[in-house]
Amino acid sequence: MEYATQMDAARKGIYTKELLAVAEDEKIDKDELIKLVAKGQVIIPANKNHKCLKPSGIGTKLRTKINVNLGTSRDWTDLDMEMEKVKSAVDMGAEAIMDLSSCGDTQVFRRKLTSECPAVIGTVPIYDAVVYYKKALKDITAKEWIDVVRMHAEDGVDFMTIHCGINKETARKFKRNKRLMNIVSRGGSIIYAWMEMTGNENPFYEYYDEVLDICRQYDVTMSLGDACRPGCLKDATDAAQIEELIALSELTNRAWEKDVQVMIEGPGHMPLNQIKANMEVQQAMCKGAPFYVLGPLVTDIAPGYDHITAAIGGAIAATYGASFLCYVTPAEHLRLPDVNDVKEGIIASKIAAHAADIAKGVPGARDWDDNMGQARKELDWEKTFEYSIDPEKARNYRASAKPEKEDTCSMCGNFCAVKNMNKILDGEIVSIFDE
Ligand code: SF4
């Protein structure tokens, strides 16, 4: 039987090879999974032209996934370096790579990604349109914006961030309700400026059905962009953010009518005490469509440490409903991340995702920690490294300060509580100073 998208297949009761792979990977019953995909509560982004894809499921009941943003910029055009970052991101367990290239021949890098990279690939066509047409922003036509979506779909991109929620109505709300940081989304600011300069409706909103037809043809998942995501705590959960979410919930329904898979993008900067409510509102309004959060960063005062502010917010967001975390690196707000920044950002996001999976009771998530607990109890340092999220760092730390007694570490030496408790419970004598 023929099908157009993973959602269409699920609704027709077809078990695609991608769905079966996800079911096996997640250890979830395939009959349960197919129902979730049919309802839109799990997505399997899998463009028909991305032949080397290792499919991942994103959504309820599955492990929390992470995305890594990469790509060239005017100040950084080295494609080999970007491919090196891609390989290390995949090796470290990133399930998705977003190519945010905004300089040079972006199609070369994009096609290289979809022909060589097994991770789910995402893009933001708005950035690319500006580079591709090489003309004044206001002169790009509505048709040209949509043509770039088609080009990315043909190139094999699995999901695209499309900023179609910032329509004229949302823009009016944004203007009436002043914000401290205005619009901080790159794509959102571009399309807002285009709307202001041309007086036209957002083309991705006006011609949304055409965008959906392209997505249906190639099975591209829509990542409904949040142009009005708060860029500082003061703007969190304000009228513009909520107005856009209302628009995104309507656009979700329209996508589902055409069997197009959808996820919703979310905040942003947000005080810790507002995260749970935001996740619940999104889940209720968008009928459980997977939530893809960009942080949330729980404080604004930590440039250089924003992988930590985002990991705190990401862990809470994922605990209360988010399914997909966009990594944030220590370079956030400061510069394009280098290889080490990428690594730090991935590790921080993986920790957040895993912590949430434990809290949500994702089957098997806790096993990793229980294995680590056992290794620590046995003072089995090799196993401790093996179960570390970053074995190399753990090994280097221990090697940098060798303990006097090999079975302990230099933190407490002979006062090692673990060793002393093991001994006393085994009926041995414990002596701190005499050994
Ligand atoms: S020495 Fe202290 S920190 Fe190190 S393993 Fe023993 S109890 Fe843990």
Question: Could you please report the per-residue DSSP string of 22-58?
Answer: HHHHHT--HHHHHHHHHHTSEE----TT-TT-----E
Locate the ligand 1 atom nearest the alpha carbon of residue 409 and give its number: 4
Residue of 405, 408, 415 to mutate, ligand 1, most atoms within 8 A of C-beta: 408
Judgement on whether residues 255 and 162 belong to the same structural domain of the protein: yes
Say if residue 269 carries a ligand binding annotation: yes
CA separation for the pair 176, 197 (Å, rounded):
18
Which stretches of 92-206 are DSSP H helices?
Answer: 106-116, 125-133, 142-154, 168-176, 186-198, 203-206
* 52 within some domain: yes
**Per-residue pLDDT, 435:** 60
C-alpha 387 to ligand 1 mean position (Å): 17
> How high is the pLDDT of residue 1?
59
326 is in an annotated binding site: no
50 marked as part of a ligand binding site:
no
Examine the domain organization and report whether 209 and 170 are in the same domain: yes
Rounded to an integer, what distance in angstroms lies between the CA atom of residue 170 and that of residue 198? 17
For ligand 1, the distance from its centroid to the CA atom of residue 426, given in whole angstroms, is 18
Same-domain pairing of 352 and 382: no
Residue 434 confidence (pLDDT): 64
For residues 320 and 45, give the distance between their C-alpha atoms in angstroms, rounded to a whole number: 23
Q: Which atom of ligand 1 approaches the CA of 417 most closely?
A: 7
* Residue 71 shares a structural domain with residue 220: yes
Q: What residue's CA is closest to ligand 1, atom 4?
A: 409
Domain final position from 360, 393, 412: 360
Domain count of the chain? 2
Domain boundary pick from 360, 390, 411: 360
- Between the alpha carbon of residue 82 and those of residues 35, 76, 99, 106, 257, the distances in Å are 38, 9, 10, 12, 37
Domain end marker among 360, 379, 411: 360
Span from the CA of 408 to the centroid of ligand 1 (angstroms): 6
Q: Are 10 and 124 in contact (CB under 8 A)?
A: no
| Ramachandran angles phi, psi of 63, nearest 5° | -60, 145
Q: Which amino acid is at 381?
A: W
Cα 194–chain centre separation: 27
Is 333 annotated to bind a ligand? Reply is: yes
State the residue range of the domain holding 53.
44-360
**Cβ atoms of 30 and 48 closer than 8 Å:** no
The residue nearest atom 3 of ligand 1, judged by CA position, is 411
With 0-12 / 13-18 / 19 or more C-beta atoms within 10 angstroms meaning exposed / middle / buried, residue 62 is: buried
Question: 177 lies in a domain?
Answer: yes
- Cα of 402 from ligand 1 centre, angstroms: 12
> Does residue 303 fall inside a structural domain?
yes
C-alpha 358 to ligand 1 mean position (Å): 25
Give, for ligand 1, the residue of 383, 412, 419, 432 to mutate: max count of ligand atoms closer than 8 Å to Cβ.
412
Same domain, 210 and 77: yes
CATH number at residue 316: 3.20.20.540
- Ligand 1 midpoint to CA 47 (Å): 49
Output the CA torsion 31→36→40→43 (10° steps): -80
DSSP symbol at 300: S
**Residues 370 and 344 reside in one and the same domain:** no
Could you tell me the mean pLDDT of each successive run of 10 residues in the chain, 435 residues long? 93 98 96 98 98 97 96 76 89 95 87 95 93 93 97 98 95 93 94 96 97 98 96 96 96 98 96 98 96 96 98 98 97 91 96 98 96 97 97 96 90 93 95 74
- DSSP assignment letter at 103: S
* DSSP 8-class letter at 289: P
pLDDT of residue 357: 98
DSSP assignment letter at 415 = G
Q: Is the same domain home to 141 and 65? A: yes
What is the secondary structure of 183-252 as a DSSP string?
A: ---HHHHHHHHHHHHH-PPPHHHHTHHHHHHHHHHHTPEEEE--TT--SSGGGTT-HHHHHHHHHHHHHH
CA distances from 260 to 159, 222, 366 (A): 11, 7, 34
What are 265's strand-pairing partners? 292
Q: Residue 286 gets which letter from DSSP?
A: T
Q: Separation of 364 CA from ligand 1 center, angstroms? A: 27
For residue 352 the two structure tokens come to 């957040």
69 marked as binding residue: yes
Q: Is residue 379 domain-shared with residue 241, that is, in the same domain?
A: no
Are 371 and 270 in the same domain?
no
Residues with CB under 6 A from ligand 1: 408-409, 411-412, 416-419
Copy the structure tokens of residue 195: 């709307």
